Amino acid sequence: MTHLRIALPTGVRSIWPADAMSDVPRLIGVVGMLLWALAAVAAPLITPYDPTKLGSAIPLLPPTAAHIFGTDQLGRDLFTRVIYGARIDLQIGLIGVAIPLTTGTLIGLLAGYRGGLLDALFGRIVDIVTAFPFVVLVIAIVAMLGPGLVNLYIAISAVSWVAYARIVRGETLLQKNREFTLAARALGYRDARIMLRHLLPNVIAPAIVFSVSDFALDVLLGASVGFFGLGVQSPTPEWGVMIAEGRTFILTSSWVVVFPGLAIVSVGFFMGLIGDSLADAIRRVGPRK
């Protein structure tokens, strides 16, 4: 595969160039997300409190040294709940990206490579699904299936593959008539091999860049769905649910709403930094013919 990378500097590797660490915004984004991942994994080591146990402290205590984010309306340490909340919200981002990235990429590759009737059919489906406002369709599907994380994943998977498929299809159309694909075909390789071993590494980069901002959007969506009571159910800590339940106390104890919100904002910020820098990296490589 090395010869392919030399011939085509636009593959996966190009979005992570050698000078990646000199890109300060990207570095901030990566470090920030690593910290969140660490917090989610090592939550019990970071905080001594229990995220769900009731009444271990006075309710609605303002931030102090013992409770740096204060306590919530049921006397639980808010910092602990925000940290444990990362487990759910980052999971929504990960699964919400992983499934559509896989299915969308495969569908886009197939539609772009095969063309013809399959591609025409794909085009119609894309037109139909994109006619729906994304959030509305996801909420409608979850509303029908019933609340819960698994149903949220089903809804996201049913809707957001389209974005990935569209990106990959476009890239495939550009790459399928290039020399390396023609050479692979001349060598008599089967279509599956050409698509997965030759085309895939060369068309996936834009989809991966998109998946970074999509991750942030899925976290947003997951929190919104939680806010409406359609996602994770109380008492499991989830940022959207925490904001929904803390709303009533906003005038006297704004921290109950402010901190979970800032957690969401920070994930969006870090992912935004990474996404922008990756998009720039792809653009720097220049337009592909």
Partner 1 sequence: MIRYVAARLIQIVPVLFGVSVIVFLLVRLIPGDPAIAILGSRASPELIARVHEQYGLNKPIWEQYLSWVINALHGNFGASFFYQDEVFGLTLERLPLTLELLTYAAVLGLVIAIPFATVAAMRRGGLVDQLLRLAFSASLGVPSFWLGIILILIFSLELRIFPAAGPGDGLLDTVWHLSLPALTIALAMSPLLFRALRSSLIEVLPADYVMTGRAAGLRSSTLLWSYILRNSFLPLVTVLSINMGWMIGGTVVVETVFGLPGIGSLLINSISTRDYTIIQLVTLILAMIVVLVNLATDVLYALLDPRVSLR
Residue 261 found at the interface with partner 1 (CB under 8 A): yes
Contact call for residues 123 and 173 (beta carbons, < 8 A): no
In a 3-state reduction of DSSP, which class is residue 71?
strand
1, 18, 65, 131: which one binds partner 1 (CB under 8 A): 131
Q: Which is nearer to partner 1, 134 or 180 (CB)?
A: 134
Contact call for residues 232 and 238 (beta carbons, < 8 A): yes
How many CB atoms within 10 Å of residue 265? 11
137, 173, 174, 282: which one binds partner 1 (CB under 8 A): 137
Per-residue contact track with partner 1, 211 to 250, x per CB under 8 A? --x--x--xx--xx--xxxx---------x--x---x--x
Per-residue contact track with partner 1, 23 to 62, x per CB under 8 A? --x-------------------------------------
Q: Which is nearer to partner 1, 53 or 247 (CB)?
A: 247
Residue 117 found at the interface with partner 1 (CB under 8 A): no
Q: What percent of the chain is helix, strand and coil (3-state, nearest 5)?
A: 75, 0, 25
124, 187, 188, 287: which one binds partner 1 (CB under 8 A): 124
H or E, element range at 209: helix 205-227
Return d(Cα 262, Cα 11) in angstroms, integer: 35
Contacts of 202 (CB under 8 A, 6+ apart): 4, 8, 10, 11, 171, 175, 180
Total residue count of the chain as it appears in this document:
289
Residue 145 found at the interface with partner 1 (CB under 8 A): yes
Return d(Cα 132, Cα 139) in angstroms, integer: 11
Token pair recorded at residue 152: 């949220």
Residue 16 found at the interface with partner 1 (CB under 8 A): no
Return d(Cα 270, Cα 265) in angstroms, integer: 9
Q: Which stretch binds partner 1 (CB under 8 A): 98-106, 128-136, 164-172, 202-210?
A: 128-136
Residue 283 found at the interface with partner 1 (CB under 8 A): no
Task: Provide the binding-site residues for partner 1, judged by CB under 8 A.
Answer: 25, 124-125, 127-137, 139-141, 143-146, 213, 216, 219-220, 223-224, 227-230, 240, 243, 247, 250-251, 254, 257-258, 260-261, 264-269, 271-273, 275-276
